[in-house]
Structure 1
Amino acid sequence: MAPAASPIPAPYNLVFLYLEPASTLAGAVWAHFRQAEYLELTHAASAPPAQLIPTSTSIVLTQLANLYLLLCVNEALVLRATADVSVWKTFLLGLLLADFGHLASVRLVGSWVYWQVWKWNAIDWGNVGVVYVLAVVRICFLAGVGFEQKKKKKHA
């Protein structure tokens, strides 16, 4: 007997099992191993010189890296462990709420960061552009876009 096909459409599998875990892993690497660049790209005016990064800032960036790694591993493993749409919806709803928090966190850079795409650097693309895309894909998933519609039985 052949295994049942997954109810999760392939584009969602691609985004949530491969692309997003890879992007959060990249964020973890930058936050831990490239702290001076990370700070400079986040907000150049307030970034300290590399040799003067406060220990507290380094600790917080390493904690951020750890959380990105946690997100990467949880998403890649939890969603691979099940094809239960309700589990996926619950998990992705939590991530959607985090997307809004993530977008709110960059407000101090200035409102331009939300719409002046031509000014974005690598961190802006990750903090805003990628988050926009992922939030839209999550909303589509939660709304059932791309899922097979169950045929309603006609009653005689």
Structure 2
Amino acid sequence: MGVDVPAWPHFLFRVFEPLSCFGGYIFPLLDLNKFIVDSTPNIPPPETIHPSSVVLAGQLGNIYAVLGLLSFLIHHNTNDPKVFRNYILAYVFSDINHLYATYRGVGWDTFVDPWAWQNLLTWGNIGMTVFMLVNRILFLLGVFGNAKTSETHRKRS
């Protein structure tokens, strides 16, 4: 079921991405304070976490859960390559905004210096987001091949 895509984008968008979104959902549930503090490396942690940070971090975790679920459902259930591509395009928009928000929080020097990304969360927020953004753009440009209506769907039509 779903759109036929080449192996690499299949792995990235149908397997890796939903799992990584689940990680973004579960991390704040397991250790909310660490999730908040690790969002801005190289900045001394506050003595107390402001309640608005707690709310925003919890809401962000919820957004990751929704994105992971949508990613799984759309990528595994749509037969329309246009829907698949448009979903990837929406993620490009999201990646750019995610990177900008992270840049605003960590500053330019940390943003462009991988040696300053001192924790897994920062690597995810910058490194993994750039990696996925580049792969999404390459997919949309057809570098990995094109998405096609699945053979199963064509036979039923």
TM band (smaller chain): 0.7 to 0.9
Q: What is the CA-CA distance between 1:56 and the residue it aligns to?
A: 2.6
For 2:116 and 2:49, the matched residues in 1 are separated by 25
Q: What is the CA-CA distance between 1:46 and the residue it aligns to?
A: 6.0
* Alignment TM-score, normalising by the size of structure 1: 0.82
Computed over aligned residues only, the root mean square deviation of the Cα atoms, in angstroms, reads: 2.0
User: What secondary structure, in the 3-state scheme, does the structure 2 residue paired with 1:144 have?
Assistant: coil
Task: Return 32-41 or 7-16, whichever deviates more.
Answer: 32-41
For 1:95 and 1:126, the matched residues in 2 are separated by 15
* Other-structure match for 2:139: 141
Where does structure 2 lack aligned partners over 5 or more consecutive residues?
147-157
Contact 2:3 2:75 in 1 (8 A): no
Q: What is the CA-CA distance between 1:127 and the residue it aligns to?
A: 0.4
* Other-structure match for 2:103: 107
Which of 122, 126, 129 is the aligned partner of 2:127? Answer: 129
Matches within 5 A, 1:10-21: 10-21=7-18
Q: Deviations over 1:37-64 (max 9, x none)?
A: 1122112536434xx3333322221111
Which of 33, 36, 44 is the aligned partner of 1:36? Answer: 33
Identity %: 27
Q: Deviations over 1:89-148 (max 9, x none)?
A: 100100000000000001231112332112212111010000011001100111011216
Contact 1:93 1:142 in 2 (8 A): yes
Count of equivalent residues: 143
Return the index of the structure with the highest Cα Rg. 1
For 2:4 and 2:59, the matched residues in 1 are separated by 35
* Other-structure match for 2:23: 26
Q: What is the CA-CA distance between 1:6 and the residue it aligns to?
A: 5.3
Where does structure 1 lack aligned partners over 5 or more consecutive residues?
149-156
Letter in 1 for 2:135: V
Task: Return 101-110 or 35-44, whichever deviates more.
Answer: 35-44
Determine whether 1:81 maps to 2:77: yes
Contact 2:9 2:139 in 1 (8 A): yes
Distance 1:9 1:41, change over 3 A: same
Which of 95, 108, 114 is the aligned partner of 2:91? Answer: 95
Greater relative contact order (Cα < 8 A, sep 6+)? 2
Letter in 2 for 1:15: L
